[in-house]
Structure 1
Amino acid sequence: MQVSRDDLAALLQIQQIDLEIMRQTKQLEELPQREAILATRQKRESIEAKRAQVEGLQREARKKITRITDEDASLAKKETGVQAAIEAAHGDFRNAEARTKELAGIAKRRATLAADHDAAADELAKIDGLAAQIARALDELDAQERSLVESFQREGGSLKNTIAQMQAQRAAAAASCSPEVLDLYDRAAARSGGVAVGRLDGNRCGTCRAVIEGGRLIDLKAQAPLGTCPACKRLLIIA
């Protein structure tokens, strides 16, 4: 194919830019902060689920303490009333005896409630301690994620700026190339997924290294200065 030296130079420049854009884009996609941020967020989800469970335990423990406290308050009020009734018995020994037994029952129940209250309070303290640990873990994860995001934005932003600059350079180089040649390059690049232009190296494609023999080599050289490798379909610059 008859093309100018300027077109050949533009093709090589475009390819060099495209390969560097691909390299920088891959580096951007493979920044380690991406995986680290994802792992941090997944870990947070797991800890958030545990926090929800612990909060449920806290609510139940507090309800239990409230029930115990309410019952004890009710018994204390009843105890005061029974004591007053005993004092008002005035020699009614049978009534006083019954009231005394009732008073003893109340005292026994209140003692049980006091033990239950202490046990429930101890359990709530343990749960609160676990909740505090979870809160600290979430705070640490938040700080870790902020640091990772800042690092990703810093490195990723630098890479994006570099890619944008190279894309501008590519556009300028493409503008200096004939549309027909540029279309051939773009199609070859789409097929190859990378290097689209090589050089004929003797009787071999300088890119795929396939041997080009006989009539095919003669036909290819006849296309100078730009042909197509019959094996990999890349563009070949023929000196």
Structure 2
Amino acid sequence: MEATREDIDSLFELQRIDLEIMRRTKELDELPQRGIIVAAREKRGAIEAQSAKVAEVKRATSRKITRIDDEDASLAKKEAGVQAAIDAAHGDFRNVEARTKELAGIVRRRGTLAEDRAAVQAELDKIGNIEAQITLALEEVSAKEQEAIDSFQKQGGDLKLAIAKLEASRNQLVGKIDAELVKAYDRTSARAGGVAIGALDGNRCGVCRVTIDSGRLIDLRAQAPLGTCPSCKRLLIIE
């Protein structure tokens, strides 16, 4: 395969750049912050779902308080009316007795309502504590997520900048190499995981290290200065 010494040096430099781009791209893809961010968002979603359930329980509990307060207000008004009727009875014993029993029933009911309200209020207080815990958990997970995002943007940004510079250098270098050589290199690189070119080392491929039999070795040397390994099909520099 036709190639100048400059072409060969440029191909080795091209391979160095490509391997460095691959390394930094892999490093970018494997930044641990990605996992932290995903985990934080999943956790926040679970906490928010719990928060929604707690909010629904709180609304239902608050409605209980409202119903109790409404009934108690109605009974307080009724109690005042009965008491007023007793006060106005003026010795009507039967009326006073009936009203007194009615009043006693109202008072008992209001007492029961007071107990019920205290129990429901205790529930609301517990819910308030849970809400405080949820708020704290959300603040903590959001802070952790933001910290990971900031770190990812810094570290990932540095890697992206380095990759962009390498790609710019690659583009400049490609313009200096014979177009057919670049095509052959790119095809081999894509197939061989990035290592597309090596050097013939005696009777071995400098990359795959497979021994080349004498007949093929003669044919390979005839391709100098650039041939193809009969085993791994990589480009081989033949001195």
Percent identity over the alignment is: 60
Unaligned stretches of 5+ in structure 2? none
- 1:166 paired with 2:155, answer no
Q: Report the AA paired with residue 159 of structure 2.
A: L
User: What residue in structure 2 maps to residue 208 of structure 1?
Assistant: 208
- RMSD of equivalent CA atoms: 0.8
Q: Which runs of 4+ in 1 moved over 6 A?
A: none
- 1:236 paired with 2:239, answer no
Task: Give the alignment of 1:59-74 within 5 angstroms.
Answer: 59-74=59-74
Unaligned stretches of 5+ in structure 1? none
Q: Give the TM-score of the pair, scaled to structure 1.
A: 0.98
User: What residue in structure 1 maps to residue 97 of structure 2?
Assistant: 97
User: What residue in structure 2 maps to residue 29 of structure 1?
Assistant: 29
Aligned-residue offset at 1:122? 0.9
Q: Report the AA paired with residue 171 of structure 1.
A: N
Aligned-residue offset at 1:231? 1.2
Q: SS in structure 1 opposite 2:90?
A: coil
Q: SS in structure 1 opposite 2:224?
A: coil
Question: Is 87-96 or 165-174 further displaced after alignment?
Answer: 87-96
Aligned-residue offset at 1:147? 1.2
Aligned-residue offset at 1:117? 0.6
User: What residue in structure 2 maps to residue 123 of structure 1?
Assistant: 123
Q: Give the TM-score of the pair, scaled to structure 2.
A: 0.98
Q: SS in structure 2 opposite 1:199?
A: strand
Give a deviation string over 1:136-166, Cα, whole Å, max 9, x none: 1111111111111111000000010000000
Task: Give the alignment of 1:81-230 within 5 angstroms.
Answer: 81-230=81-230
Give a deviation string over 1:112-151, Cα, whole Å, max 9, x none: 0001111111110110110011011111111111111111
In the alignment, the residues of structure 1 paired with residue 106 and residue 233 of structure 2 have an alpha-carbon distance, to the nearest angstrom, of 98
Aligned-residue offset at 1:214? 2.6
Aligned-residue offset at 1:91? 2.0
Q: Report the AA paired with residue 238 of structure 2.
A: I
Q: Report the AA paired with residue 176 of structure 1.
A: K
Q: Report the AA paired with residue 12 of structure 2.
A: L
Aligned-residue offset at 1:225? 0.7
Give a deviation string over 1:191-226, Cα, whole Å, max 9, x none: 112201011111111111111103211111111111
In the alignment, the residues of structure 2 paired with residue 104 and residue 233 of structure 1 have an alpha-carbon distance, to the nearest angstrom, of 103
Q: Report the AA paired with residue 10 of structure 1.
A: S
